[in-house]
Amino acid sequence: MNRELLLLSFFLIPFLSRVYVSEAQVVTHKYEISVAGFSIGEMQAKKQSKENSIIYSIESKVSFWFFGRVEVDYGIETRYDGSKVVESKAYTKTNRGDFTSHVQWDRGGYEVDAETYKFENKERIEGPLRFSSARMYFHEPTNETFFLAENYGLKAPVKKVQEYYEVDVNGNKNKFYYDAEGVLIKAVMQSPIKNYVISRIE
């Protein structure tokens, strides 16, 4: 019996160690999304190390009124090799239509195929870029002047203004606020549909 337990532990310990390491490589932040002080949904941001890459992802689900009930399922996944953005995928699924965007590193720049609400873009971006909107949930864009707006497939400006960072994405000016550890605690977002606020809850 003791021999069987010893053999079992011999096989389980390496397996459990791998599970522990894998879980330790994922960092998750959760946010509430609100309009005019009323909650309309939640967002989850993840940072995951995978082999030689770092993957930042965002998933959110919201429901609000805009000339009728609108349901939105939104997500981004952006992969970095070292400090460089190499690929991003974004999707928006709604009860009024679906949109997708794809940005891929290729020979010194990025190939773009982006479509979102009342916007399409296939203009190549010269690179490389070291920051993107998905990464902004985990790190301040310190010393950065541009970042990748994955959903629009745009190289967008970012600048520090007093206690927040301001970004301009296709005419929408958004404000990002960080805590002392450089983690996003609040974002005030402009949108062609509805302006909203993202606030960290854990």
Question: Which pLDDT value is given to residue 1?
Answer: 47
Over 80: is that where the pLDDT of 149 sits? yes
Confidence at 191, pLDDT banded by 50, 70, 90: confident
Q: Does 19 map to a domain?
A: no
Q: Does 70 map to a domain?
A: yes
Q: Does 16 map to a domain?
A: no
Q: Does 43 map to a domain?
A: yes
Q: Does 8 map to a domain?
A: no
The DSSP H or E segment spanning 175 is strand 172-178
Domain count, the chain: 1
Q: Does 18 map to a domain?
A: no
State which residues form the domain around 39.
27-200
pLDDT tens digits, one per residue of 35-50: 989 999 999 999 999 8
Q: Does 112 map to a domain?
A: yes
Residue 181 CB-density burial (10 A; 0-12 exposed, 13-18 middle, 19+ buried): exposed
Q: Does 140 map to a domain?
A: yes
